[in-house]
Amino acid sequence: MKKEIILRNLLEEIKRNNLSVFVGAGLSKGAGYPDWKELASEIGEELGLDVKKETDLIAIVQYAYNNKKKNRNFINELIRNKFLDDSKISKDMDILSRLPIRYYWTTNYDLLIERTFKKINKVVDVKIVHDDLSNNIYNRDVVLYKIHGDARNPNDAVLTRDDYEEFSEKRGFFIDKLIGELVSSTFLFIGYSFSDPNFERILSKIRIKLSNNSRTHYYFVKSISRKECTSDEDFDYQKIKQELQIQDLSYYNLEPIIVDEFSEISNFLIELEYRLKINNVFISGSAFEYGAQWDINKAKTFTQSLSERLVQNGNKIISGYGIGIGGFVIEGVSLAIDPTKQVVSDHFELHPFPQKIEEDEDSQEIWRGHREKIIGMSNFAIFVFGNKIVNGKVKEANGVYNEFEIADKLGLTIIPIASTSLAAQGIMKIVSENLDKYSYLEEYIEILCNELDIDKIINIIIEIINKEA
């Protein structure tokens, strides 16, 4: 299947909230954690075994366990020391974390996935043991199933052959949950080799039950290159073996995304992220008053009409519900959408800011995290008005400037409507002094700074968006 078709299929599944991600050791290896071969090699040294001569890596761990008279302290210490390093980062995981994907599965012991989501202030509900399945974290953004356990409690992790053989009994609910999700959702596997015998049994069960009616899932696989092989004969052999493995996985409706280099996986995910948010527009602004040239009625008409036109233009609006602006945005969207024929979430997402918290450093950190999360979902950022009341006086809104800094850092197309004054005007001043960076605005600056006609302003905004999309 061509990558273009796969990209479109995955994009549609994400939009339907129907894509899950399965993360294997390959992703963590790219971040600097050991894979199974490296782990088994270190364990095998204790036994005098050369992992290069062995094909059954799980058996090596079992031998070490047996050799210690069924004491796994040595293995547990190794797991904790190898997988609890919190300095590792993964570009691919960073990209994945920004996508609106709710369910993740992994066989990895490390905490890379949890830490990556925490960086962007997403709440992760981690499921490690059976009891976790019946207890949910409120307001969670992501659910992570760690079906082989966790480095923080390696004694319960799936490591030895005994553990694999007892997997169905000890983690049966996880198997049931995974089968259900594989049946009803599309999976994207990244860094996973499909060498786990338990997972193969799961796929077999689905194939037998559903026959030709199972969902298509996707996985990344790197093509064999000559430089990685010891000889031409070895190269030919490895190519044949990989082709047979791909053919074998196709019987389980697993479709390969073939890459020549691992860096192409990042490029694929970046393209997926870009396409997902290419038409998304973040509207930033707040207003306690609307200035001498704008009153509340004109501001309402402008914001409503802008929101309505954006939706009609095929854009999706992301809003944090700024005071004096957010309500008008919602009203504009409602004018453009027929909820009996359209899915509202395809055109609009509302992410209200946390309320009733003190304005201290902690609250600023909470608000910044919230801003980063919602602005990161967009490709365009429109800035209107931007003022607040401080000690009875109207001041520029720091929050709107914060949103500009975040949007700018994330590479969004910036569109400040300076004629609405205050923060929007201040942002336009910054933009005007750096036109090399914002060259797409050069021909529109005079209009955006001075125009008060609502239709003319909106026409210019739509023109900029359509040019830059």
Mean pLDDT (the chain) is: 92
Burial status of residue 338 (CB atoms within 10 A of its CB: 0-12, 13-18, 19 or more) = exposed
Average pLDDT for 3-30: 96
The question of whether 148 is a catalytic residue gets the answer: yes
CA distances from 93 to 78, 89, 193, 266, 371 (A): 24, 8, 17, 9, 20
CA distances from 429 to 394, 407, 416, 418, 433 (A): 19, 16, 9, 9, 6
Burial status of residue 112 (CB atoms within 10 A of its CB: 0-12, 13-18, 19 or more) = buried
Helix or strand or coil: residue 167?
Answer: helix
Read off the pTM.
0.88
Element (H, E) at 148: none
The reported pLDDT for the residue numbered 340 is 82
Helix segments in 155-211, DSSP class H: 161-165, 167-170, 172-184, 197-210
Name the more confident of 187 and 200: 187
The reported pLDDT for the residue numbered 263 is 92
The reported pLDDT for the residue numbered 342 is 86
Largest CA distance in the chain: 83
221-272, pLDDT tens digit by residue? 999 999 999 999 999 999 999 999 999 999 999 999 999 999 999 999 999 9
Rounded to whole angstroms, how far apart are CA atoms 86 and 144?
18
The reported pLDDT for the residue numbered 369 is 82
41-73, pLDDT tens digit by residue? 888 887 888 887 877 888 888 998 898 878 889
Average pLDDT for 445-455: 97
Nearest 5 degrees, angle CA 146-CA 149-CA 152? 115
Give the number of other Cβ atoms within 10 Å of residue 234's Cβ. Answer: 13
Token pair 């802008």: residue: 306
Q: pLDDT band for 344, please (50, 70, 90 cuts).
A: confident
The reported pLDDT for the residue numbered 352 is 84
The reported pLDDT for the residue numbered 42 is 85
CA distances from 91 to 59, 106, 226, 265, 346 (A): 33, 17, 27, 10, 28
Between β-strands 380-385 and 387-390, what pairing exists: parallel, antiparallel or unpaired? Answer: unpaired
Rounded to whole angstroms, how far apart are CA atoms 137 and 412?
32
Average pLDDT for 392-415: 94
Nearest 5 degrees, angle CA 127-CA 131-CA 132? 25
Token pair 């791909």: residue: 246
- Which of these, 53, 187, 25, 38, lies nearest to 109 by C-alpha position? 25
- What are 364's two structure tokens? 């600023």
pLDDT at 135 over 90: yes
The reported pLDDT for the residue numbered 1 is 73
The reported pLDDT for the residue numbered 354 is 66
DSSP state of 260: S
274-299, pLDDT tens digit by residue? 999 999 999 999 999 998 899 999 99
Domains of the chain: 3-33+85-275 (3.40.50.1220), 278-468 (3.40.50.450)
The reported pLDDT for the residue numbered 355 is 56
pLDDT at 212 over 80: no
The reported pLDDT for the residue numbered 152 is 95
The reported pLDDT for the residue numbered 139 is 86
pLDDT at 211 over 80: no
The reported pLDDT for the residue numbered 360 is 60
Catalytic member of 130, 148, 347, 351: 148
Per the CB < 8 A criterion, the answer to whether 145 and 129 are in contact is no
Helix or strand or coil: residue 412?
Answer: coil
Rounded to whole angstroms, how far apart are CA atoms 310 and 451?
19
pLDDT at 90 over 80: yes
